[in-house]
């Protein structure tokens, strides 16, 4: 009797297993039939309890990928838009140079063309810096970094710019402050912040740097004597390509965006405050030690 019932039992088991796996097959078919750009969530309805957590994790991964692709698409669009303006300006300046009839007019056109080339070069350099940072941050392992050493290196790079404007740059605070991170990325962060401070500080004024080591954290303070940033603008200036209205200094609008991106990857925060000693801006960066 058992041998006779075995085929029937096997058929019943096969039917039960096939029925229970129908939601899994539907999920597989749903994924297999998708277009490459379709990153919408996979339905978990009816899935066995053993399979549902796996599909939920897959949906979380798809959500992160969707956000990353959207961010990349926006960045490419913004970059194309921002590059279009300086390239169009270069063409106009070249035409002005070609039409210049006297020496003075030609010299003025050459100066404007050179300034336009410098602005376009700076924008491309910032775009490449951002791309390199985002690529390297996913690959390079974190290491023990002395922020004081990084600060001195960045200071040496922006010092010629400060000297050209007779700006006094003062460094004070802890002789050493160690954090975990990527040295090149941290150097780019500090250099962008210092570059902004020197750029917006009037000639003959002062930029003050201070590094503090506290339990569990390291704090970098950069105070300038520039015009400062209005409170309602202090979050927007971290957006890519955003520039405060009325600012005449050349720039790409990427420096602070890059700095915040690097800070976020290191678990650090960047806060913009009023300078404590008068008009100007204080940039406060808090790193986990």
d(CA 261, CA 133): 9
Residues 62 and 77 in one domain: no
At residue 79, the pLDDT reads 67
Q: Which of 19, 36, 66 is the last residue of a domain?
A: 66
Q: Which of 121, 137, 153 is the last residue of a domain?
A: 137
Say whether 46 sits in a helix, a strand or coil: coil
Residues 132 and 203 in one domain: no
Q: Which of 108, 137, 166 is the last residue of a domain?
A: 137
Residues 74 and 130 sit within 8 Å (Cβ to Cβ): no
Residues 167 and 253 in one domain: yes
Whether 136 shows a pLDDT value over 60: the answer reads no
- The whole-chain average pLDDT of the chain stands at 80
Lowest-confidence segment of 73-87, 98-112, 253-267 by average pLDDT? 73-87
Strand pairing category for 281-288 and 217-223: antiparallel
Domain that holds residue 15: 2-66
Mean pLDDT of 65-84: 72
d(CA 196, CA 224): 9
d(CA 179, CA 266): 9
- Who has greater pLDDT, 256 or 140? 256
Mean pLDDT of 169-184: 85
CA 148, distance to chain mean position in Å, is: 23
Q: Which two tokens stand for residue 82?
A: 């921002």
Residues 56 and 75 in one domain: no
At residue 210, the pLDDT reads 92
The DSSP result for 142-156, as a single string, is PEEEEHHHHHHHHHH
At residue 50, the pLDDT reads 75
Highest mean pLDDT among 61-65, 263-267, 268-272: 268-272
- Who has greater pLDDT, 151 or 6? 151
At residue 55, the pLDDT reads 81
Residues 246 and 118 in one domain: no
Residues 42 and 76 in one domain: no
Say whether 213 sits in a helix, a strand or coil: strand
At residue 273, the pLDDT reads 93
At residue 20, the pLDDT reads 63
At residue 248, the pLDDT reads 59
At residue 1, the pLDDT reads 60
Residues 264 and 160 in one domain: yes
Strand order across the 168-173 sheet: 168-173, 206-214, 217-223, 281-288, 269-274
Residues 196 and 267 in one domain: yes
At residue 113, the pLDDT reads 81
Lowest-confidence segment of 42-56, 119-133, 266-280 by average pLDDT? 119-133
Q: Each residue of 20-74: pLDDT tens digit?
A: 666 677 777 777 777 777 788 877 777 777 777 888 888 888 888 888 777 777 6
DSSP label at 144? Answer: E
At residue 285, the pLDDT reads 95
Q: Does this model's pTM top 0.75? A: no
Whether 13 shows a pLDDT value over 80: the answer reads no
Q: Which two tokens stand for residue 123?
A: 């924008």
Q: Which run of H or E residues covers position 257?
A: helix 255-265
Buried b (16+ CB within 10 A) or exposed e, 152-167: eebbeebeeebeeeeb
Residues 240 and 169 in one domain: yes
Mean pLDDT of 132-138: 60
Q: Which run of H or E residues covers position 4?
A: helix 2-20
Residue located via tokens 């066995």? 48
At residue 167, the pLDDT reads 92
CATH number at residue 90: 1.10.287
CATH number at residue 180: 3.30.565.10
Whether 82 shows a pLDDT value over 80: the answer reads no
Query: Cα–Cα distances in Å, from 266 out to 141, 182, 233?
Result: 12, 8, 24
Size (the chain), residues: 289
Name the domain count of the chain: 3
């Amino acid at each position: 009797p058992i041998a006779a019932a075995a085929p029937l039992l096997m058929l019943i088991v096969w039917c039960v297993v096939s029925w229970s796996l129908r939601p899994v097959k539907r999920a597989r078919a749903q994924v297999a039939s998708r277009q490459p750009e379709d990153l919408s969530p996979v339905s978990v309805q009816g899935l066995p309890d053993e399979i549902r957590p796996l599909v939920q994790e897959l949906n979380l991964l798809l959500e992160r990928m969707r956000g990353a692709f959207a961010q990349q698409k926006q960045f490419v669009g913004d970059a194309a838009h921002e590059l279009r303006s300086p390239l169009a300006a270069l063409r106009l300046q070249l035409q002005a140079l070609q039409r210049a009839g006297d020496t003075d007019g030609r010299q003025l056109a050459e100066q404007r063309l050179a300034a336009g080339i410098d602005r376009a070069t700076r924008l491309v350099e910032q775009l490449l810096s951002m791309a390199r940072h985002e690529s390297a941050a996913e690959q390079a392992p974190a290491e023990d970094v002395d922020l004081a050493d990084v600060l001195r290196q960045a200071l040496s790079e922006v010092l010629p710019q400060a000297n050209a404007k007779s700006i006094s740059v003062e460094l004070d605070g802890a002789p050493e402050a160690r954090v975990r991170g990527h040295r090149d990325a941290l150097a780019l962060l500090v250099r962008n912040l210092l570059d902004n401070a020197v750029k917006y500080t009037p000639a003959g004024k002062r930029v003050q740097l201070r590094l503090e080591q506290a339990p569990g954290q390291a704090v970098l303070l950069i105070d300038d004597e520039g015009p400062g940033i209005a409170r309602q603008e202090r979050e927007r200036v971290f957006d890519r390509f955003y520039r405060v209205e009325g600012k005449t200094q050349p720039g790409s609008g990427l420096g602070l965006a890059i700095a915040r991106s690097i800070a976020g990857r290191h678990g650090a925060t960047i806060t913009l405050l009023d300078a404590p000693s008068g008009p100007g801006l204080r940039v406060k960066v808090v790193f986990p030690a």
